[in-house]
Chain A
Amino acid sequence: MNTVIPAPIARQPWSMLIPLFLLVGFGAAVLYSAGGGSMSPFASSHLLRFGVAMVMASVIASLPRELVKFLTYPAYVAVLLLLIAVEIIGQVGGGSQRWLDLGFMVLQPSELMKPVVVVTLAHFYASLPLGMITSWRALLVPGAFIAVPVAFVLLQPDLGTSLAIAFGGVVVMLLAGLPLKWFLGAGAAAAAAAPALFYLALQPYQQRRVLTMFNPEADPLGAGYHITQSKIAIGSGGIFGKGFNNGSQSHLQYLPEPHTDFVFATMAEEWGFIGGLFVIGMFALILRWGWRVAMDARDRFSSLLAAGMVATIFFYIAVNLLMVMGFAPVVGIPLPFMSHGGSSMLTNMICIGALMMVNSWNRRAPRTGLAG
């Protein structure tokens, strides 16, 4: 090991941290522009939140495996109770509510549920006897673990977050080794049920968003407005962009939510294709590191946990980018590490922290040879 750099620093996963810092810094620059060329209100709080979240991630990274396992189920129950509390407060207060005001911060329990579901399922499958992986129990219990919080989040109603929770959970189930035919069957059933769900389960505004995705120009001032303006912002940026602080789409408020959901479009307008490749590249580096951590994990719990976290981060990135480029409906999912917003920063940094935690477990007891 290099002797110049002190061990505690050299120990850190720099192949992930450097892209992460670059991304957050770049995000702050974009938010600076979205704030009308000013650190406030977006850029400075973005950096501050990242700082706080990084400390939290470091704390998570230092947790021992046994403690995590011990806390998993209580944490799941606690977050579920928070979700129910939100629902009750919302009902009492008259109207839907997604957050709890804790005084010092606004907490969205549904955000916390994303990493918690992943940990819970990882713990469940790790403790499940190996032979039972093809039994119905291996499907039904985790299915309930996912379905209950998803149901509450749907009640809020928050389609984007409930999809994210389900996605993280299903990826863990898939990687845990459940028979592939179950997934194929479920996929086929979902495809068959999709039209019915579309008309029965979705709110009219959600239906409109889905339809709009296929033909945004049909209603350029209505539901298609977001997608159309986002594509204009990205497309007008060209290869090198219009230049820092020169984006007319964001500065003249044509672009909706230029600092949260459509931050990528804000960036692309000013930094162009080059900026876009940079962002996608940084995400690729972070996710690749995450996969490596999952692959290198020395036990089932760690690898499932790490892979689930990677999937959760990926879900945010993919849905957000597909949305701003006109490939997915507008579901209100922010872009990790770049969008302004405390809840998404919290969730994604919990995932990063969990990955760093698994990484440190890997370090302390690296895998040796065949399965452990």
Chain B
Amino acid sequence: MLGLGKKRGAKRSSTLVNASMLKNAFDRRSMVIGSIQGGIGVLLAVRMGYLAIAENEKYRLESESNRVNLTLIPPRRGWILDRNGAPLASNRADFRVDVIPERLTDPDQTIDEIGALLGLNEARIADLKQEMETARGFAPVEVASGLNYEQFAALSVRLPDMQGVVPQRGFSRFYPTASSVGHLIGYVGPASAEEYEQDRNPLLITPGYKIGKDGLEKQFEQDLRGVPGARRVEVTASGRIIRDLETRDDIQGDPVKLTIDGPLQDYAARRIGLESGSVVVMDCATGDLLCMASMPSFDPNSFSDGIGSVEYAMLREDQRVPLRNKVLKGLYPPGSTVKPMHCMSFLKEGVDPGETIVCGGGRRIGNRFFRCHSNHGVVDMTKAIAQSCDSYFYHFAQQVGFDTVASFAKDLGLGQEYPLPVTSQFYGTVPTPDWKLNKFGREWQPFDTVNASIGQGYYLTSPLQLAVMSTRLATGRRVNPRLIIDGPAKDFVSYDFRDEFITHIRDAMSEVVNGAGTARRAQLPLDGIKIAGKTGTAQVVSLSVSDGRSGPWKYRDHGLFTFFAPLENPRYAGAVVIEHGGGSGSAYPIARDVMTFMFDPEKGLAALTALEKQWGGTAQERLEKRYAAYAAERGATVTPPPRRDEDIFDQVEAEARVAARQSEAIAEDAIAPREDQAASGSPPPDAVTRP
């Protein structure tokens, strides 16, 4: 039938059209269309076979990766413990809120809403908005942590209206003694992009995970970190969790046990009070660092959400540099505190302790007269230490040669670094003729010996070095400081000082406090326990600029005190350094109270409580008050902190190095000592005033 139609159609002229031709065309064309349709059907079947069979494996995986969401559970960080097992850094279960910037429709508005709900302050909200602008894609940004349940609940009920806001349960780092341990322990914070580049651990970008940013938290990051847990959940496309598939618990990081005595650390930090300075106490037998307090400091608890602009500005502008760990990175001329050590050097070189010189308000060395701070008359070694007679040291340093004294000083730990797990420590300087020639290209002069013999001139030491020096001098052993309890204490080699030398130095240092010395007010208010020590007053500018006790804060003398106790059988030794305290009178009362607390905590605390009443609260309370006042005054005008925390501390360290050179300027000539140091027995009356 079809064939017939075709023939007939073909025979006809093409201009004439009849019904059978059309029927014919219909049949042919519907055949073609039907075939095309069939072809498409086959194509679809083949395509489906390809997707479902050939590429099944690929799509099955993709479907699984859609369905299953693996989230890391940040491990609880290991605790940092003091020597008695009390936590200096622990974890607190709390609630946290993250936002995922990319999911926010209107970041500013969302932040405002969250801020209002959680009662965040203006400065924090401003910081967050800035962070939102620079945040990348899907990486969550922590908005607030340490929330209580009420805040968490208030936010949770509003979640349906707040796309991209993710409340979480977690743990946050908690430092019970806050600013007292700020410099020592450091703080934690979210890993920066650079840190993630170095360590491609997905944990680092897990929201809520914090890594150590400074101090021991940074040094022991790997030990403290622990092993993250994992949770596999089935999620919908919008991220809603349907059910838990499998959960592996996290393994908490290892604890790190310090040699620090927590209560002592806290006491010392608070006792520094309004001053800027540091207290180091060591155990004479083991070298354990019992206390490394550096104040003023920051509150590591408040740094864990990132360093706020206002807080950073406040800390930056404070000339007492709360960001600098002064125990390790504060360098000060040791002043008279090195005198007992120099005496030991003289003794070793054969100077008889009974040998006297005459101090006539100074002494002629070579062809020049160098002044002493007072006229001491006939001076032997004991009196030279007790009353800190400079003339004695000018004379004998000149006699034995300062090279000899300097190498002994280095042997006792000055100008050295110690094997401690800290981010950095400063060497300081023990000046020698070679060193001066190298550094300045100038010859060593008699006045250099004079300056160095009383711990001035180019001499620079850190409080830690002074504490080590005191310990070594008091015990006669090469005691090395240690910060971590990682096994039994080592037995330290002896310097082989003759017993009578040690006894002699100890007795002379006892005279400073317990006899006719410069620090009689440093006596311990305890029966049967005597402290021995040596005061130091380090000048930072020449006498013509400042009298060292009043005037601009940064021109005042540093106050220093090295000590050990008990006198007869030293168990503890240490050093107190108060920056620009106006003389040693600012330092030794602190040493006295710290040692009192060591032996009788109740008595020590009573003294501190009375002082803190005058000062207006504990160090932490004052820090918070200052912050509130500062934020109220300057909140809107501060400049934001550097983006990387590392930059902040690099800057602090660079400034610390510059600051250490302050006294270099006056080392160019003999330093005229202050008159009548022995009288500076009380803290300067204006110590309370702000700079």
Taking Cβ atoms with an 8 Å cutoff, the residues of A that contact B are 130-131, 133-134, 171, 174-177, 229, 231-239, 248-249, 252-254, 268-269, 272-273, 276-277, 280, 283-284, 287-288, 291, 294-295, 300, 303-304, 307, 311, 314, 318, 321-322, 325, 327, 370-371
Is A314 a contact of B37 with CB atoms below 8 Å?
A: yes
Is B52 a contact of A237 with CB atoms below 8 Å?
A: yes
Given the known inter-chain contacts A130-B19, A283-B41, A325-B44, please indicate yes or no for A249 contacting B52, CB distance below 8 A: no
From B17, B20, B41, A280 is in contact (CB under 8 Å) with B41
Is A133 a contact of B17 with CB atoms below 8 Å?
A: yes
Given the known inter-chain contacts A131-B17, A295-B27, please indicate yes or no for A273 contacting B49, CB distance below 8 A: yes
What's the Cα separation between A175 and B30 when bound, in Å? 7
Nearest B residue to A236 via CB reads B63
Contacting residues, chain A, for B27 (C-beta < 8 A): 295
Is B26 a contact of A303 with CB atoms below 8 Å?
A: yes
B690 close to chain A: CB less than 8 A: no
What's the Cα separation between A276 and B17 when bound, in Å? 45
Instruction: Tell which of B229-237, B441-449, B603-611 binds the partner.
Output: B229-237
Given the known inter-chain contacts A276-B48, A291-B34, please indicate yes or no for A248 contacting B53, CB distance below 8 A: no
Nearest B residue to A240 via CB reads B52
Is B29 a contact of A252 with CB atoms below 8 Å?
A: no
Given the known inter-chain contacts A235-B52, A253-B238, A280-B45, please indicate yes or no for A130 contacting B22, CB distance below 8 A: yes
B40 close to chain A: CB less than 8 A: yes
5 tightest Cβ-Cβ pairs between the two chains A and B? A235-B59, A236-B63, A177-B25, A235-B51, A177-B22
Is B53 a contact of A325 with CB atoms below 8 Å?
A: no
Is A276 a contact of B67 with CB atoms below 8 Å?
A: no
What's the Cα separation between A268 and B52 when bound, in Å? 9
Nearest A residue to B20 via CB reads A371
What's the Cα separation between A282 and B324 when bound, in Å? 80
What's the Cα separation between A311 and B33 when bound, in Å? 9
Known: A131-B17, A252-B235. 16 other contacts (CB 8 A): A174-B29, A231-B51, A234-B51, A235-B62, A236-B59, A237-B52, A248-B63, A248-B66, A253-B236, A268-B52, A272-B52, A277-B45, A300-B23, A322-B44, A325-B47, A327-B47
B490 close to chain A: CB less than 8 A: no
Nearest A residue to B1 via CB reads A370
From A239, A307, A318, B30 is in contact (CB under 8 Å) with A307
B493 close to chain A: CB less than 8 A: no
Is A276 a contact of B37 with CB atoms below 8 Å?
A: no
B16 close to chain A: CB less than 8 A: yes
Contact digits for B49-63, partner A, Cβ 8 Å, 1 yes 0 no: 101110110111011
Is A273 a contact of B67 with CB atoms below 8 Å?
A: no
Is A276 a contact of B16 with CB atoms below 8 Å?
A: no
Given the known inter-chain contacts A276-B52, A318-B40, A325-B47, please indicate yes or no for A252 contacting B242, CB distance below 8 A: yes
| Chain B interface, DSSP helix/strand/loop, else mixed | helix
> What's the nearest-Cβ distance from chain A to residue B432, in Å?
68
Contacting residues, chain A, for B22 (C-beta < 8 A): 130, 133, 176-177, 300
B21 close to chain A: CB less than 8 A: yes
Given the known inter-chain contacts A177-B26, A307-B30, please indicate yes or no for A232 contacting B63, CB distance below 8 A: yes
What's the Cα separation between A233 and B237 when bound, in Å? 13
Contacting residues, chain B, for A300 (C-beta < 8 A): 19, 22-23, 26
Taking Cβ atoms with an 8 Å cutoff, the residues of B that contact A are 1, 4-5, 15-23, 25-27, 29-30, 33-34, 37-38, 40-41, 44-45, 47-49, 51-53, 55-56, 58-60, 62-63, 66-67, 234-238, 242
Contacting residues, chain B, for A239 (C-beta < 8 A): 52-53, 56
From B21, B48, B60, A268 is in contact (CB under 8 Å) with B48
Q: List 14 A-B contacts (CB under 8 A).
A: A130-B17, A130-B19, A175-B25, A231-B59, A232-B62, A233-B59, A234-B48, A235-B62, A236-B59, A238-B52, A254-B237, A287-B34, A314-B37, A325-B51
In this complex, the member of B15, B51, B63 whose beta carbon has the largest number of chain A beta carbons within 10 angstroms is: B51
Contacting residues, chain A, for B23 (C-beta < 8 A): 300, 303, 371
Contacting residues, chain A, for B58 (C-beta < 8 A): 235
What's the Cα separation between A280 and B235 when bound, in Å? 32
What's the Cα separation between A303 and B55 when bound, in Å? 43
Contacting residues, chain B, for A171 (C-beta < 8 A): 33
What's the Cα separation between A237 and B41 when bound, in Å? 20
Is A252 a contact of B30 with CB atoms below 8 Å?
A: no
Is B41 a contact of A284 with CB atoms below 8 Å?
A: yes
Is A273 a contact of B53 with CB atoms below 8 Å?
A: yes
From A175, A236, A327, A370, B56 is in contact (CB under 8 Å) with A236
From A134, A252, A269, B17 is in contact (CB under 8 Å) with A134
What's the Cα separation between A253 and B234 when bound, in Å? 12
Contacting residues, chain B, for A273 (C-beta < 8 A): 48-49, 52-53
Contacting residues, chain A, for B21 (C-beta < 8 A): 177
What's the Cα separation between A325 and B49 when bound, in Å? 11
Contacting residues, chain A, for B45 (C-beta < 8 A): 276-277, 280
Contacting residues, chain A, for B238 (C-beta < 8 A): 253
What's the Cα separation between A304 and B27 when bound, in Å? 11
Contacting residues, chain A, for B236 (C-beta < 8 A): 252-254
From B19, B38, B56, A235 is in contact (CB under 8 Å) with B56
From A231, A252, A272, A287, B37 is in contact (CB under 8 Å) with A287
What's the Cα separation between A311 and B242 when bound, in Å? 44
What's the Cα separation between A321 and B44 when bound, in Å? 7
Contacting residues, chain B, for A272 (C-beta < 8 A): 52
From B18, B29, B40, B55, A175 is in contact (CB under 8 Å) with B29
Is A295 a contact of B41 with CB atoms below 8 Å?
A: no
Is B56 a contact of A238 with CB atoms below 8 Å?
A: yes
Contacting residues, chain B, for A174 (C-beta < 8 A): 29, 33
Nearest A residue to B47 via CB reads A325
Is B237 a contact of A252 with CB atoms below 8 Å?
A: yes
Contacting residues, chain B, for A283 (C-beta < 8 A): 41
Contacting residues, chain B, for A287 (C-beta < 8 A): 34, 37
Is A236 a contact of B62 with CB atoms below 8 Å?
A: yes
Is B59 a contact of A232 with CB atoms below 8 Å?
A: yes
Contacting residues, chain B, for A176 (C-beta < 8 A): 22, 26
Contacting residues, chain A, for B60 (C-beta < 8 A): 235-236, 238
